[in-house]
């Protein structure tokens, strides 16, 4: 290295070595290059730094490009379940997400205000589930990534406006799904279609049930459908039945909460294990810790699956919601 480099070069070099991001490395490398005197003795150093700078800029560009390629509908699952809300425009999807989650979607009476997916976390008792607001489904093109998200989630909420031709709304949304080889699980075996249909767990949410005087409207809507659909009437505006909606979501997810308790200690119910319905004790032990599954010696159960508090059970014992389990190895 040339010995006649200024102090500013070494200061910038120290900052470059301490930098943790590509952007900062580029910044300090450019500072280093700006301090180097231009003469024959620094030719090799300047060439090396230019080469290094080029590599860093290429890496930064590649990183930005890969970020741009990620779809807005590529949403990693968080919490005990991933739920998507779909429907036509102005049915209250964004209002529900804004009201019941930590997300802050724009809420407006102007049609088609929501133009991309937005996730938020909803609390149901002592667990959290992810709820995703989405653009309205209309006659126009539907983004394939939007459809892929519908296929991936644990539960689809089809939201309907009780006062805006609800039967036609529901039929329209279901028809759009069917055109893309998707159908509600509750209609499995009832739809005649050529080729494969992916049946997804679905719950119909009938919004704008703002007072009891709309009970007649709701009953007429159910009669016009001609069959039983899994549905719940709610009012996001007044809060009517939102707790019932949460409980139905929990039931539809097909999960239970199980608490692990250390011998001689009180149970902590603030952070349950969320596991699939029908799980056996031996499999649950493995979720607590892999050593518990391999070396499990005995287990006691408190809760609805036990005949009495503190019952000793075997590995194939099926757990139920809010069971308390004490494992010993």
User: Are residue 202 and residue 265 in the same domain, yes or no?
Assistant: no
- % of the chain with per-residue pLDDT over 90: 48
- Does residue 75 sit within a domain? no
User: Are residue 196 and residue 309 in the same domain, yes or no?
Assistant: no
User: Are residue 88 and residue 213 in the same domain, yes or no?
Assistant: yes
User: Are residue 97 and residue 187 in the same domain, yes or no?
Assistant: yes
What was the pLDDT predicted at 303? 94
Residue 26 — very low, low, confident or very high, per pLDDT cuts 50/70/90? confident
**Which whole number is the average pLDDT over 2-8?**
73
Last residue of a domain, one of 253, 286, 301: 253
Domain membership of residue 48 as a residue range: 7-63
What is the distance between the terminal CA atoms of the chain, rounded to a whole angstrom?
A: 62
What was the pLDDT predicted at 307? 94
SS3 200: strand
What was the pLDDT predicted at 109? 56
Mean pLDDT of the chain: 86
User: Are residue 47 and residue 88 in the same domain, yes or no?
Assistant: no
| pLDDT tens string 98-138 | 989 888 776 655 555 556 788 999 999 999 999 999 989 98
User: Are residue 99 and residue 239 in the same domain, yes or no?
Assistant: yes
**Which whole number is the average pLDDT over 314-318?**
93
Residue 62 — very low, low, confident or very high, per pLDDT cuts 50/70/90? low
**Calpha distance 232→253 (Å, rounded):** 16
User: Are residue 235 and residue 178 in the same domain, yes or no?
Assistant: yes
User: Are residue 96 and residue 217 in the same domain, yes or no?
Assistant: yes
User: Are residue 157 and residue 224 in the same domain, yes or no?
Assistant: yes
Number of domains in the chain: 3
**Long-range own/partner contacts, residues 271-278 (CB < 8 A, 24 or more apart):** 271/126, 272/126, 272/127, 272/322, 274/80, 274/127, 275/319, 278/318
What was the pLDDT predicted at 63? 64
Range picked from 58-67, 115-124, 238-247 for highest mean pLDDT: 238-247
User: Are residue 311 and residue 231 in the same domain, yes or no?
Assistant: no
Does the pLDDT value for residue 95 go beyond 80?
Answer: yes
- Does residue 92 sit within a domain? yes
User: Are residue 49 and residue 87 in the same domain, yes or no?
Assistant: no
- Does residue 70 sit within a domain? no
């Amino acid at each position: 290295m040339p010995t006649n480099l200024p102090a500013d070069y070494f200061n910038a070099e120290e900052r470059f070595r301490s930098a943790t991001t590509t952007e900062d490395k580029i910044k300090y490398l450019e500072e280093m290059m700006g301090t180097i005197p231009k003469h024959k003795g620094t030719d090799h150093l300047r060439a090396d730094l230019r080469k290094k700078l080029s590599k860093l800029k290429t890496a930064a560009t590649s990183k930005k490009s890969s970020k741009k390629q990620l779809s807005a509908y590529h949403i990693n699952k968080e919490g005990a379940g991933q739920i998507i809300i779909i429907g036509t425009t102005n049915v209250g999807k964004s209002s529900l997400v804004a009201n019941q989650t930590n997300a802050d979607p724009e809420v407006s009476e102007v049609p088609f205000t929501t133009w991309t997916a937005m996730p938020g976390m909803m609390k149901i008792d002592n667990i959290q589930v992810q709820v995703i607001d989405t653009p309205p489904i209309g006659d126009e093109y539907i983004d394939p990534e939007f459809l892929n998200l519908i296929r991936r989630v644990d539960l689809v909420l089809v939201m309907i406006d009780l006062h805006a031709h609800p039967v036609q709304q529901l039929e329209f949304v279901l028809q759009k799904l069917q055109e893309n080889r998707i159908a509600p699980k509750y209609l499995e075996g009832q739809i005649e279609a050529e080729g494969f249909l992916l049946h997804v767990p679905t719950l119909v949410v009938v919004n704008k049930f703002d007072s009891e005087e709309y009970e007649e409207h709701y009953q007429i809507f159910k009669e016009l459908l001609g069959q039983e659909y899994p549905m719940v009437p709610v009012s996001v505006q007044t809060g009517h039945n939102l707790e019932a909606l949460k409980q139905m979501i929990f039931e539809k997810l097909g999960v239970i909460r199980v608490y692990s308790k250390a011998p001689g200690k009180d149970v902590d119910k603030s952070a349950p294990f969320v596991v699939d319905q029908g799980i056996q004790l031996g499999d649950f032990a493995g979720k607590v810790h892999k050593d518990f599954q391999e070396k499990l010696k005995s287990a006691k159960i408190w809760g609805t699956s036990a005949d009495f508090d503190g019952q000793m059970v075997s590995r194939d014992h099926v757990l139920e919601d809010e069971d308390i389990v004490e494992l010993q190895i």
